[in-house]
Amino acid sequence: MKRLVLLAALVLVATCQTVYQCPKDGRVFKCSSEPKEVCGIKTVHGEQVKETFVNSCQACSLGKVDFTVEGKCENYLAEAEFCPPSYKDVNACTEQFQPQCAWFNQSVKCLVYPCAIEVQNRCYGCIIKNVLFTTEGDCPKSV
């Protein structure tokens, strides 16, 4: 059944991504105040710190965050560990077994809840196209 759900999810995948990598060169931006709320993520001491900003430009200005995800932070699961854009360039993951639930972004239209797949570890989840974040442990069975 899991394979059928995964196959259905993969068939319906669109190409858009909801993650934006902030420039790392310390540039100062001239930003508009046009609202398009994003969740800004910065890794501090190995932990993700999340804060909602008016838009990606303001979030990335002066290096406040590493990357942004569309929408308010509180719209996501509190335990969500967002996949940094750099994970999409990973070619191989360790074989460490630390079960994760890898949640797809909104471009994937799932037929059943959860819109996620169980994976061996965070790396395996984050290298899957259109996975937005992971949570520890198995995926929930129902709402």
Nearby residues of 18 by Cβ (< 8 Å), 6 or more positions away = 69, 70, 71, 105, 106, 107, 132
pLDDT cut 90: percent of the chain above it: 66
How many Å separate Cα 131 from the centre of its chain? 6
Helix (H) or strand (E) holding 123: helix 122-126
Q: Are 79 and 136 in contact (CB under 8 A)?
A: yes
Query: Percentages helix, strand, coil for the chain, rounded to the nearest 5?
Result: 20, 25, 50
Kind and range of the H or E run holding 105: none
DSSP letter for 104, please.
Answer: E
Q: How far apart are CA 73 and CA 77, in angstroms?
A: 8
Chain-centre distance for alpha carbon 87: 10
**Rounded distance between C-alpha atoms, residue 26 and residue 22, angstroms:** 10
Residue 34 has pLDDT above 70, yes or no: yes
Q: Is the peptide bond before 99 cis (omega within 30 degrees of 0)?
A: no
The model's pLDDT over 77-106, given as tens digits with 9 standing for 90+, comes to 999 999 999 888 888 899 999 999 999 998
Q: What is the pLDDT of residues 47-77, one digit of tens each?
A: 999 999 999 999 998 678 999 999 999 999 9
pTM of the predicted model as reported, rounded to 2 decimal places: 0.81
Confidence band for 143, pLDDT divided at 50, 70 and 90: low
